[in-house]
Chains A and B, each alone.
Chain A
Amino acid sequence: MNKVVVANLNGNAYQLEEAGYHALRAYLDRAETQLRENPDRVEILGDLEQAIGEKCDQFLGAHKNVVTSAEVERILAEMGPVHDASSSGAAPEAAPGAESKDSAPEPETAPKRLYQIREGAMMSGVCNGFAAYFGIDVTLVRVIFVVLAFLTYGLWALAYLVMMIVIPHANTTEERAAARGLPFNAQELIDQVKKKYADFSDNREARKHSRQVHKHRQERRRHTHAASEQAIAVPGYTAHVVTGLLSPIFGLVSAALFVVFIFAFISMASTGAVLGWSLPTGIPLWAGLLILIAIYAMTTGPIKAARRATYAYGARPHAWLAALDGLFWLAFTMLFVWLAYLYVPVVHELIEKFGSMWSNGSMWNKVWFGILV
């Protein structure tokens, strides 16, 4: 069972399976890019949509009202890549079938970008993306990553986490082609469909099943965000990267604020003053503490909203992303505490005081050096 998307093709509604819809979307986006200099762009795109719609009609009948993904791919292969006839050099392409495969134009300059590829990923698809980008085996990439993690005393694991957040996922066929640096065209689509069929006829039931479950989950996830995605248009590569970058930055800022707040709070509670600034006489201690909490809430409010926005913004709406964000927050908090302990005398004293209540004061040192070395 597949989700169906209704597409408007030059004024008529067609129901397409979701993967087919994405392929069609990519085809038309590409056509639009090809024709961007053409004064008749709108008309040609309308004609193309019309032609696609008429081809869809051939696959529809009284008892079949959805065009399957495979049918969409076949239609797009029939349509052929769009060339702008008026731009010099871009001459029309000829002959399906008669053309031998190696004669297909293979532009060396096909865009190549680093993406995360979920298909066949062990975790998030970072290694998979690297493997596709450099054209090497994914297992080799994984081994290199693990070795690097050991060599850098775990720093590489942190780098991996950052990459998980920053590198966008390849969701559409075009993005998957770009991840491998392959030219994206109708031929590409056909090859992929063929490959998919080959995979399905594979009788490794377990693998197939798990893949379907995964795909379903992905589809459902995408579905819940379909509305917002359509409203704001699919964010581009840059937007993906920016939101990916912002998320840990917001994590960092809010962690710093949290640490400052905790120390201010402890300092206020134990000495009645924060960094030399003491409460004016007449204001009780509890009121001072309340004021601190209020200030903290006010400063963190906008940041929390912004953090939520970075992962609500269509980028990668994963539950684990929120969890990872929390992990970042925790890591930064610990880092700040440690730095403050080392370099800020007031904080140092406070922790020492705290530590001696708990156990020996030098324990903090042991714990931190145990973790880091």
Chain B
Amino acid sequence: MSLHEKFSSIRKGLLEFLVLKIIAADKVYVAEMLGRLANTEFATQEGTLYPLLSKLRREGLLDYDWQESDAGPPRKYYKLTAHGKEQLEELNGYWKEINRTIGQLGKQP
């Protein structure tokens, strides 16, 4: 079993957190999000991302605006709602906790 496989469920679980992070940094549309993730361990595809975004929107974490694009039809640009920003703060804090725990475990007490 490769490392990639061992952590596959973790990567899946973290995708939502990372998508919130990406959207928090800048207003983005789906192709941009995919591009940001493309060369990381978290590379994903439209088939996964669209349903995820729709779920997050239903949960009130994000929303989108239609914006005209130079080439082609208007695009959905996603942004975080206030609730989404709070959630991201919490997730960030929790993630730091996890990292600290991982760092501490295995050291001599």
Which A residues form the contact surface with B (CB < 8 A)? Answer: 12, 31, 35, 38-40, 43-44, 47-48, 50-51, 54, 57, 78-86, 91-100, 103, 186
Contacts and interface: CB of A to CB of B under 8 A. Distances in A.
Contact of A100 (B5, B9, B44, B57): B5
Interface residues of B, number: 30
B64 to A, nearest CB: 10
A51 B54 contact: no
B92 interface: no
13 contacts: A44-B50, A44-B54, A80-B44, A82-B51, A83-B48, A91-B9, A91-B12, A93-B45, A94-B41, A95-B42, A96-B45, A98-B4, A186-B47
Interface of B: 2, 4-5, 8-9, 11-13, 15, 30-31, 41-52, 54-55, 57-58, 72-73, 76
A130 B75 CA distance: 48
B5 A51 contact: no
A48 B45 CA distance: 11
Describe B's contact surface by its main secondary structure.
Answer: helix
B46 A92 contact: no
B94 to A, nearest CB: 18
Contacts of B4: 95, 98-100, 103
Contact of A94 (B8, B46, B55): B8
Contacts of B52: 85, 92
B47 A82 contact: yes
Contacts of B11: 94-95
B67 to A, nearest CB: 14
Top 3 A-B pairs ranked by shortest CB distance?
A80-B45, A80-B47, A92-B48
